[in-house]
Amino acid sequence: MKDTSKSQKAAVAPTPPIGVLARGLIILECFSEEHLHLQLRELAQMTGLDKATLLRLLNTFIEYGYVQRSLDGKYAPGHNLLRLGALYRSTFDLGQRLQPILRTIMLETHESVAFYIREGDMRVCLYRENVSRDVRYVFEVGTRVALADGGSASHVLRAFTDGSSPRTEEVLKNGYAITRAERSPELASISVPVSEPHGRLLGAIQITSILNRQTEAQQIAAAEVAIRTLAENGFDSRPTRITGSATL
């Protein structure tokens, strides 16, 4: 027998909020990377609002630049949302935004975590969260390491800037760099890139473990924790790659 419960459930429109402001906000909440352009009927289905109310609110959003309407009748986010996003980013120092992320990753992976940027031919540790374990790797803020000396963060920083890492193709394909006993015979590390959504590389988050404490599969799982946590906090881990000898 055919199961129609899913389609019946999808057909039930949500109950819209009563307040005008709340109704406007649920319209904006409909837009996402999967739903960049929406028809009026789609917005009606997603919000539970009638089309007359939707049109009135959408026209106000269009007037103030928060929604745009294309020639084919579809609605999309407007330019003023970009301005608000920029204001949000400037409100918080990068460290204030990243430190809680590093702590979350450290608590979930039970390993030390750091954020590195590229300065010329060096990588520099800007922020870190060291795990409290008897045997651990300790990051120090301000530590400078030559990119040529290797390490997973170095491979990420080089791959997404000038492409000089010998593992650039692998890093770009996988979205992370993993090393085992590369810089030290006792250590293993994995790094993921950090950027603003659809933006340039900001740096790399590195998770470092004692070699015999983590398998490669466990390292990859730790990277997935980092990628998920970044996404949950407004960052991306698929930066736009830039060419040339750009540094951060």
Structural domain boundaries, residue 110: 92-232
Instruction: Taking residues 34-57, report their average pLDDT.
Output: 94
Residues with Cβ within 8 Å of 203's Cβ and at least 6 positions away in sequence, in order, are: 115, 116, 117, 118, 126, 157, 193, 194, 248
Same domain for 181 and 121?
Answer: yes
Q: Which two tokens stand for residue 238?
A: 């698929």
CB 42 within 8 A of CB 53: no
Same domain for 210 and 153?
Answer: yes
Number of neighbours of residue 135 by Cβ within 10 angstroms:
10
pLDDT tens readout for residues 188-244: 999 999 998 888 899 999 999 999 999 999 999 999 999 999 999 999 999 986 543
Same domain for 124 and 191?
Answer: yes
Same domain for 111 and 226?
Answer: yes
User: What b-and-e string marks burial along 33-67, b requiring 16 or more CB atoms within 10 Å of the CB?
Assistant: eeeeebeeeebbbbbebeeeebeebbeebeeeebb
Same domain for 43 and 164?
Answer: no
Count the domains in the chain: 2
CA distance 95 to 100: 9
- Split at pLDDT 50, 70, 90, the class of 7 is very low
Domain CATH for 14: 1.10.10.10
CB 206 within 8 A of CB 190: yes
Same domain for 34 and 135?
Answer: no
| pLDDT in the model for residue 34 | 81
Same domain for 75 and 100?
Answer: no
Same domain for 127 and 195?
Answer: yes
CB 227 within 8 A of CB 204: no
Same domain for 11 and 31?
Answer: yes
The average confidence (pLDDT) of the chain is: 89
Q: 240: helix, coil or strand?
A: strand
- Pick from 88, 115, 149: which residue ends a domain? 88
Residue 28 has pLDDT above 50, yes or no: yes
* Least confident stretch, 79-93, 168-182, 193-207: 79-93
| pLDDT in the model for residue 90 | 64
Instruction: Taking residues 66-84, report their average pLDDT.
Output: 93
In a domain, 241, yes or no: no
Among 240, 234, 54, residue whose Cα is nearest residue 161: 240
- Split at pLDDT 50, 70, 90, the class of 12 is low
Residue 3 has pLDDT above 50, yes or no: no
- Distances from the Cα of 78 to the Cα of 28, 31, 68, 82, 216, angstroms: 10, 11, 5, 8, 44
Instruction: Taking residues 152-164, report their average pLDDT.
Output: 96
| pLDDT in the model for residue 17 | 76
How many CA atoms, within 13 angstroms, populate the side-chain half-sphere of residue 114? Answer: 22
Same domain for 42 and 132?
Answer: no
CA distance 232 to 248: 24
Same domain for 120 and 202?
Answer: yes
| pLDDT in the model for residue 89 | 63
Q: Is the pTM of this model over 0.85?
A: no
Owner of token pair 């906000």: 25
Same domain for 194 and 210?
Answer: yes
